[in-house]
Amino acid sequence: MDNDLLPDLCDAYEDKILWLPVTWQDYGGKSVFSGQIVTLRCFEDNSLVRGILSRPGKGKVLVIDGHGSVNRALLGDQLALLAVQNEWQGIVVYGAVRDVVTLSGLNLGVKALGVCPLKTLKRQSGEENVMLSFADCRIFPGDHLYADQNGIIVTPHPLPNIVE
């Protein structure tokens, strides 16, 4: 995929895309990625992330709504390695990640708000496959996400002529 994919997609499909107006940081070894969205909402507890990333993820991107909290890291090296093993395209965290040196060496797209070295609480709380709402945007399970260093856009259906 082109490294400046998003500007071209926004020009061609402006009426079909939703831009997430967040200043994302890149932490994965792959800065350009796309796929069908799987959603998870959780607050400072990543108990459900392992189960999701244990499933086959070919062509998929996990979007985690961590309520914007950077007090606990919702993704670290072990979960990211699991995602790579199961062929996930990427993970977007509306919250924090950790183990960023390891993350940067993985063939995985990872975007987040920031970094926190603290692990999460383990309360087995969260909601999978729900509509997420952050940054004045609604993201639904099954939507398609496109990401590069220009940011993230979401569409309800895959865009034509884009290889995910």
State both tokens at 164.
């995910």
111 part of a folded domain = yes
State both tokens at 110.
């990872």
- Other beta carbons less than 10 A from residue 30's beta carbon: 18
Q: Is the pLDDT of residue 149 over 90?
A: yes
| Residue 76 in marked binding region | yes
pLDDT digits (tens, 9 = 90+) for 87-123: 999 999 999 999 999 999 999 999 999 999 999 988 9
Residue 12 three-state SS = helix
Q: What is the DSSP pairing of strand 90-97 with strand 109-115?
A: parallel
160 part of a folded domain = no
**Where does the chain show beta strands of DSSP type E?**
18-19, 25-26, 33-41, 60-65, 73-75, 90-97, 109-115, 127-128, 132-134, 137-139, 144-148, 151-155
95 part of a folded domain = yes
CATH assignment at residue 89:
3.50.30.40
pLDDT at 79: 98
pLDDT digits (tens, 9 = 90+) for 13-48: 999 999 999 999 999 999 999 999 999 999 999 999
Q: Between 4 and 35, whose confidence is greater?
A: 35
Q: Is the pLDDT of residue 1 over 60?
A: no
162 part of a folded domain = no
pLDDT at 31: 94
Counting the structural domains of the chain, the total is 1
Radius of gyration over every alpha carbon of the chain, rounded to an integer in angstroms:
14
Residue 2's pLDDT band, with cuts at 50, 70 and 90, is low
131 part of a folded domain = yes
Q: Is the pLDDT of residue 161 over 80?
A: no
CA–CA distance, 111 with 107 (Å, rounded to integer) = 13
94 part of a folded domain = yes
* CB-side neighbour CA atoms (13 Å) of 111: 25
164 part of a folded domain = no
pLDDT at 3: 81
The answer to whether 55 and 74 have CB atoms below 8 angstroms apart is: no
Domain span at residue 114 reads 5-155
161 part of a folded domain = no
| Residue 79 in marked binding region | yes
pLDDT digits (tens, 9 = 90+) for 45-94: 999 999 999 999 999 999 999 999 999 999 999 999 999 999 999 999 99
User: How much is the pTM?
Assistant: 0.95
pLDDT digits (tens, 9 = 90+) for 119-143: 998 898 999 999 999 988 999 999 9
